Chains A and B, each alone.
Chain A
Amino acid sequence: MTDLRIAAVADIHLGADLSGQYRKRLDDIESRADVLLVGGDLTRHGTVAEGRVVADELRGLPIPVIAVLGNHDYHSDADRKIIQVLRDAGIIVLDDGGMTITINGVRLGVAGGKGFGGGFAGKCASEFGEPETKAFVRHTREIADRWRRALKDLDADRTIVLSHYSPVKETLMGEPPEIYPSSAVICWRRRPTRWAPTCSSTATPTRAWSRV
């Protein structure tokens, strides 16, 4: 099967001060990658104005751009509008769903979304005790259920989960262990297979994961 070259970046945190600047970093990306994955925290404070900067910086790239939002992108309660602004610019935005795109004859399936906290399989919080705890964990569980369905529905040669929060603890290597519970995306009840990081052709951290 043809290899896919996947560029992955996250936490770009664009704002007006970087308008017209970030795009320069993507010059000639098509010679190095077949698809660009953007793993959330696209903005600083989640305003629509910042979302428009992101849209302008990523608009019209010669390779497909697939993105999810991060927690920063929710801060101003404008997440729905930001998603629309990005989609209007031709960016594929996953919001707890999945999609398949054919690149060089390879069907690439990508599922995901922002994600949330709660711990990892075998060591995650449960819907028990205080209402606040139950609400927190319920939100994570509902996201996990939507991702599980999205993954199940994918008919693809290669499968990637794209999220802002870490889907498995391996993505948190190097971070302080104390933040692991709030950085975990999901309690995978049943890991569908082995997960490993995608090949990244950018120098910035990636939270995109590819099923191998």
Chain B
Amino acid sequence: MDVRGEHVYLRGQVPSEERRRTIETVAREATPGLRVHNEITLVEVREPGEEEHL
């Protein structure tokens, strides 16, 4: 979470839309009078990419 002037930016990744909304709700409650920008994204489910052989 970054606060710049009267703007609050939420960033990061969460696994569900419900958690994304919950974070925004809490942020709005904690920062009355500031404008909250919810830039949190949902975790993208992808094929496993990193493989390491030992």
Residues of chain A touching chain B, judged by Cβ–Cβ distance below 8 Å, are: 3, 7, 13, 17-18, 21-22, 24-25, 32, 196-203, 210, 212
Contact = CB atoms under 8 A, between A and B. Distances in A.
19 contacts: A3-B53, A13-B15, A17-B16, A17-B18, A22-B15, A196-B54, A199-B51, A199-B52, A199-B53, A199-B54, A200-B48, A200-B50, A200-B51, A201-B48, A202-B48, A203-B47, A203-B49, A203-B50, A210-B54
Given A17-B19, A203-B47, A210-B54, 11 more contacts: A7-B48, A13-B15, A18-B16, A25-B45, A198-B52, A198-B54, A199-B51, A199-B53, A200-B51, A201-B48, A203-B48
B15 A18 contact: yes
Sort A-B residue pairs by CB-CB distance and give the 3 closest, nearest first.
A17-B18, A199-B52, A201-B48
A212 B54 contact: yes
Contacts of A197: 52
Contacts, number: 36
Interface of B: 15-16, 18-19, 45-54
A104 to B, nearest CB: 16
Main DSSP-derived SS at the A contact region: loop
A174 B16 CA distance: 25
Contacts of B52: 197-200
A203 B45 CA distance: 9
Nearest to A44: B19
